[in-house]
Amino acid sequence: MSSTFTHQFDTALFKGTITVNTGLFIDGQWVDSVSKETIDVINPVTGKKLTQVAAGDANDIDIAVKAASRAFKTSWGLKTPGHQRGRLLYILADLIEKNVDAIAATEALDAGKRFAHAQREVQGSVDVVRYYAGWADKNHGKTMETSEEKFAYTRHEPIGVVGLIVPWNFPFSIATWKIAPALATGNTIVLKQSEVTPLSALLLAALVKEAGFPDGVFNVIPGYGSTAGQALIEHQAVGKVSFTGSTFVGRKIMETASKTNLKRVTLELGGKNPVIVFDDADLDQAVKWMTFGTFFHSGQVCAASSRIYVHEKVYDAFLERFVVAANSIRQGDGFREDADQGPLVSQTQLDRVLGYVESGKQEGARLLAGGTRSEGTGFFLKPTIFADARPDMKIVREEIFGPVGVVSKFKTEEEVLELANDTQYGLAGYVFTQNLNRAIRVSSTLEAGSVFVNSTAATAPQVPFGGFKQSGQGKELSEYALEAFTQVKAVHINLGMTL
């Protein structure tokens, strides 16, 4: 049967032991995969193997979907009133909060995050789960006035079994963004966690079981996208897929859904997010926000502020301060107090980002900082800044997903808005100005699902998050996310109509 991974932490930031079951979690039980195959889990800081987890494939997905289908029909869905679903979600939120440090340590170890950042992310997940716990008995339909001879109303009903596919950059927090509204509205879940960072979702499964959710309501299958992920998308008993990841994979998911059972699809995809720094901006604050927004989690963030437009009057001053800030970032193990930034998640990702750096050099962008691997072990890349980038450059057009900031100059508001919107993406946008009218005007014109004024991305459970154009469709977080996990039924009752 399945085994466990135990790790002892003895650092300045966290001292303690975590134990993670490394099997698949199906129907309330920990099991090996049918194939008995495993996936190696690598520590990004050292490049060495941490442990291995069971590798699910189509056979395991089928077993998990069948378990979720049974649970939906017998012990969840319409069988469990909303207030009871909410009560269990409140219990789950309390358990996550009780284990914030252990979950954060697992996330930092697995994904190469700073421990302090992981703590804030997990605490944010507590807030998300509690937010949707409160929604569980409040997502009502409506009554409609038609005539005195008819009573008509709508019901918001769960879809059934939903497949959730979660990326490697925020494996715990994005998982909770999806499972909380899905469970609150009565769906059952098969979660396909990334093979790169599978550990925190397995901890989450243990907490779901401890909270008392019925067996089969929540199932976790670590596995490769080409096998487990594809099987989940193709499965005829899955009524909805929610995916966070690349635009390329998002397109394939929509294609597969159209060729199978037309399951509903929510996609939160990539971004090449524009930042506009006007000449009246607080330059010191703008540089601080850009340093965080560009290099946080080594730039492995879909909403990263990686495409920066600075007004010509403050361009040189901004670059000077931005380079100083980038060069002052201290890299290292996320459990060290003196580490500001961790590594990229894998050798594959490091090679990919280095390819973009080389492209920037070849196409003539001016390299002002970084651009090379850091000395020592692990997948570290120095914070990198390119200046004088042209709109046609690959580093301007494509999502890099690494610690690379690309800076360009602009003269007028009209010019920069055209540059900012000249992209296939539309996830987020950032505006730095002290002029309120300009802030509102530019925010309204940017083609992005979220716009942040005088800050970089800071999500909240009450506010929707999701992109325009090829950055996806549908919303995570807020009341809007409930729509993604429910279907509306209209009921017509004849009170006196005759033929």
Average pLDDT per consecutive 10 residues, the chain (499 residues; last block may be shorter): 88 93 97 96 95 97 98 96 98 98 96 95 98 97 93 97 97 98 98 96 98 98 96 98 96 95 96 98 98 96 96 98 97 93 96 98 97 90 98 97 98 98 98 98 98 95 97 96 97 94
With contact defined as beta carbons under 8 Å apart, do 459 and 477 qualify?
yes
CA Rg value for the chain: 24
Annotation marks residue 414 as catalytic: no
Residue 218 pairs in a beta bridge with 189
* Residue 441 neighbours by CB under 8 Å, 6+ apart: none
Burial classification of residue 167, based on how many CB atoms lie within 10 Å of its CB (0-12 exposed, 13-18 middle, 19 or more buried): buried
Partners of 492 in beta bridges: 152
Domains and CATH numbers, the chain: 4-269+472-488 (3.40.605.10), 274-460 (3.40.309.10)
For residue 212, count CB atoms less than 10 angstroms from its CB and return exposed for 0-12, middle for 13-18, buried for 19 or more.
Answer: exposed
Q: Residue 1: its pLDDT value, please?
A: 54
Beta strands 307-311; 366-369: pairing state: unpaired
Catalytic residue (choose from 107, 121, 195, 268): 268
Question: 121 exposed, middle or buried (CB, 10 Å; 0-12, 13-18, 19+)?
Answer: buried
Structure tokens at 398: 């494509």
d(CA 82, CA 176) in angstroms, rounded, equals 18
The order of strands in the sheet holding 29-31 is: 29-31, 24-26, 218-220, 188-193, 161-166, 240-244, 264-268, 472-473
Closest CA to 152 of 497, 406, 498, 499: 497
CA distance to 398, 416, 456, per residue, from 391 (Å): 11, 11, 22
Assigned token pair, 181: 């509204």
**DSSP result, 395-457:** HHHS---SSEEEEEEE--HHHHHHHHH-SS--SEEEEE-S-HHHHHHHHHHS-SSEEEESS--
Residue 56, both tokens: 């699910």
Name, in order, each residue with C-beta under 8 angstroms of 84's C-beta and a sequence gap of 6 or more.
Answer: none
